[in-house]
Chains A and B, each alone.
Chain A
């Protein structure tokens, strides 16, 4: 944790830490504290008086059927995004590891979506799937599919899942590729000599050895789907139709900034913080494990 040889200076380290700590205190700890503080208060309708209500806001939020529906929707959305971003990424990484010619080209193209803002990724997919002008929507219509994400909640959900997963494939692809490159070649050669085919090698050697990477990526993808997809949802559906694509972060924003229900929004923020803390803790346990592994 600490170096043996260090500099002796009483004031300097504090000066060096000051900028980061100042930003952290003002924009992280103060607002987080405010969220916790507001979550135990209730403001009357006119903003005149404030009373301490203990955990009432939390009870109200957690027993609210709307909130429960949103929580359930978020879980479905995140699982779907994680699956559709992980499976193709693993497939592409396994294949990319096996080609020599064109390897750089494939890698460069597959990595591009990482650079694209979630909100912009949303615009790309919105445009292609727009019922009136979208080229994919046109193709679906020709195939007899009744596609309308503006009116049909399931269609809207499918669209945001595709857009969110599409953007995340690049990230997973790079990590799977790094994981594959660290698998000892001798192991795979030995299996080949024993007559194992590609599928068998994948099932018995590659996939088990990749499991730490897969687990790590699973957590990262869930965190991504929970928190970083705000831009996608806002551009593609704005949470609609009829809240069919409203996930937790979207609801916090909507209830706080648009509906101005401060106590409830603060309680929701605190719940979300708890979720991030749990997910981050799981992620760090993985890092610890990897050290032993």
Chain B
């Protein structure tokens, strides 16, 4: 049977269903983008138009260099993006480096307490930050880390999933490679630098995508740890920009800031799509 002719006959249904999926996914994003190009008055005019307006440059310029006004004076979006970028990159590279070396220790050495330490890292999977929120906040306060990049990032840097992934991968490195390196006189640090890191490249890329998105999208933790507006990350700032009723919301600024907040993580998963899928499916094993 010729699969092509068979396909052509039944092919309209999958496309129809997938277009519904595309619509559900993209419609909220399109509405947000359109709102970011309208004047506040056009946004308030129900029903809002569904094609872009003429305020694109004006709105983005205002969001970028001024930010929202009202009860909450947000920093300009340029500062917010920088804060988010710093936090996301510290969290991503922190998690990757810390996990690489601890997985290396657990796999390539034998020492008293090895399994105990491994389980101590593993069990942190079961303690998401939302669960231990208050005591963790207390610890960060005691260490005087409120309103610092250290307080924002350090508590998020331990990673059981990344450690597990690297451990799994290190176990597959052939013994011959280690023996050859030892015969050539390479010590553990040399072997790590010249063999293990280069071999781990695809795994590092896969984790980079997942962890960057994780770091960029943090909400509850930065909300608690920063009380000064200048340290706000973009996700938290958007929420603060939305008025609670007493003060009208600057929707045109909120929407253009939202679009700016969406660009970096979306760019990362589109550009690194292969790594993204690998990272997602591998870290859940």
Chain B's closest residue to A249 (CB) is: B130
Pair A123/B242 contact, Cβ less than 8 Å: yes
Produce 1/0 per residue, A60-95, CB < 8 A to B.
000000000000000000000000000010011001
Interface pair B128/A227, CB less than 8 Å apart: yes
CB distance from A9 to the nearest CB of B (A): 6
A108 touching B98, Cβ below 8 Å: no
What residues on B are CB-neighbors of A166 within 8 Å? Answer: 24-25, 28
- Distance in angstroms from B196 CB to nearest chain A CB is 11
Q: Are A135 and B239 in contact (CB under 8 A)?
A: no
Count B interface residues, CB 8 Å.
105
Q: Which of B60-68, B72-80, B116-124, B197-205 contacts A (4 or more CB under 8 A)?
A: B116-124
A21-B121, A269-B131 as given contacts; A120 in contact with B266, CB under 8 Å: no
Residues of A within 8 Å of B32, CB to CB, are: 124, 127
B99 → chain A closest CB, angstroms: 7
Bound state CA distance, A72 and B219, in angstroms? 25
Choose among B158, B182, B262 the residue that contacts A120 (Cβ–Cβ < 8 A). Answer: B262
Partner of B188, one of A12, A35, A123, A135: A12
> Are B135 and A34 neighbours in the complex by a CB distance under 8 Å?
yes
Binds B, one of A49-57, A153-161, A203-211, A273-281: A273-281
Chain A interface residue count, Cβ-Cβ cutoff 8 angstroms: 96
Tell me the nearest residue of chain B to A216, going by C-beta.
B284
B163 with A120: CB separation less than 8 A = no
Specify which chain A residues have a CB less than 8 angstroms from the CB of B98 in the assembled complex.
19-20, 23
- Which residues of chain A have C-beta atoms less than 8 A from B255's C-beta? 127
CB distance from A252 to the nearest CB of B (A): 7
Contact B135 A269 (CB under 8 A): yes
Interface: B26 (CB within 8 A): yes
Would A95 and B18 count as touching, CB distance under 8 A? yes
Q: Are A109 and B25 in contact (CB under 8 A)?
A: yes
Q: Given contacts A21-B117, A127-B32, A198-B10, is CB(A266)–CB(B134) below 8 Å? A: yes
Cross-chain contact B127 with A276 (CB below 8 angstroms): yes
Tell whether A186 is near chain B: CB-to-CB under 8 Å.
no
Cβ contact within 8 Å between B220 and A5: no
A218 interfacial by beta-carbon distance below 8 Å: no
CA distance A133 to B133 in the complex (A): 35
Partner of B139, one of A30, A137, A139, A287: A30
Query: Among the interface residues A13, A24, A114, A127, which one has the most CB atoms of the partner chain B within 10 A?
Result: A13
Min CB–CB distance B261 → chain A (angstroms): 6
**Taking chain B's interface residues, is the majority helix, strand, or loop, or is none over half, making it mixed?**
helix
In the assembled complex, how far is the CB of residue B105 from the closest CB belonging to chain A, in whole angstroms? 4
Q: Which residue of A lies closest to B238 (CB)?
A: A123
Whether, in the assembled complex, A106 has its beta carbon less than 8 Å from a beta carbon of chain B, the answer is yes
Q: What string of 1s and 0s marks CB contacts (under 8 Å) between A261-274 and chain B?
A: 01001100100110
Task: Decide: A32 and B127 in contact? CB cutoff 8 A.
Answer: yes
Shortest Cβ distance from B88 into chain A, in angstroms? 11
Contact yes or no, A13 B105, CB < 8 A: yes
Residue of B nearest to A255 (CB): B134
Give the shortest distance, in Å, between A166 (CB) and chain B (any CB).
7
Q: List residues 114-131 of chain A with CB under 8 A from any CB of chain B.
A: 114-120, 122-128
Find chain B residues with CB under 8 A from A212 CB: none
Q: Collect the chain B residues with CB atoms within 8 Å of residue A40's CB.
A: none
B73 → A minimal CB distance (Å): 19
Residue on A nearest B277 in the bound complex, by CB? A174
A196 to B184 alpha-carbon distance, docked (Å): 62
- B125 beta carbon closer than 8 Å to chain A: yes
Q: Is the CB of B14 within 8 A of A13?
A: no
B86 at the interface (CB under 8 A from A): no
Smallest Cβ distance from B25 to chain A, in angstroms? 6
Check B258–A24 contact: CB distance below 8 A. Answer: no
Q: How far is the CB of A257 from chain B (nearest CB, A)?
A: 6
Q: A83 vs B281: C-alpha distance in the bound complex, in angstroms?
A: 21
Which A residues lie within 8 Å of B11 (CB)?
98-99
**Chain A residue with Cβ nearest B34:** A135
Q: When each residue 37-68 of chain B gets 1 if its CB lies under 8 Å from chain A and 0 otherwise, what string results?
A: 00000011011101000000000000000000
Report which of B107, B120, B188, B262 forms a contact with A9, defined as CB distance below 8 A: B188
> Which of these, A35, A119, A128, contacts B28 with CB under 8 Å?
A128
Known: A106-B22, A114-B213, A120-B238. A127 touches B273 (CB 8 A): no
Q: In this complex, which of B32, B47, B125, B173 has the most chain A Cβ atoms within 10 angstroms of its Cβ?
A: B47
Specify which of A7, A29, A138, A276 is in contact with B109 (CB 8 Å cutoff): A7
Does residue B83 face the partner (Cβ distance < 8 Å to A)? no
Q: Which chain B residue has the least Cβ–Cβ distance from A113?
A: B25
Knowing A24-B120, A26-B139 are in contact, say whether A124-B15 is a contact too (CB < 8 A): no
Q: Are B21's CB and A88's CB within 8 A?
A: yes
- A235 CB within 8 Å of chain B: yes
Q: Which of B216, B224, B239 contacts A123 (CB 8 A)?
A: B239
Q: What 6 A-B pairs have minimum CB-CB distances, sorted nearest first?
A: A117-B217, A31-B135, A16-B105, A34-B135, A95-B14, A231-B219
7 more A-B residue pairs beyond the given contacts A17-B105, A28-B127, A102-B15, with a C-beta to C-beta distance below 8 A: A6-B109, A7-B108, A23-B155, A26-B139, A28-B124, A216-B284, A231-B235
Interchain residue pairs with CB less than 8 A apart (16):
A3-B178, A16-B102, A17-B101, A17-B106, A91-B17, A95-B13, A109-B25, A112-B266, A117-B265, A118-B219, A120-B238, A127-B32, A169-B21, A230-B219, A231-B219, A273-B131
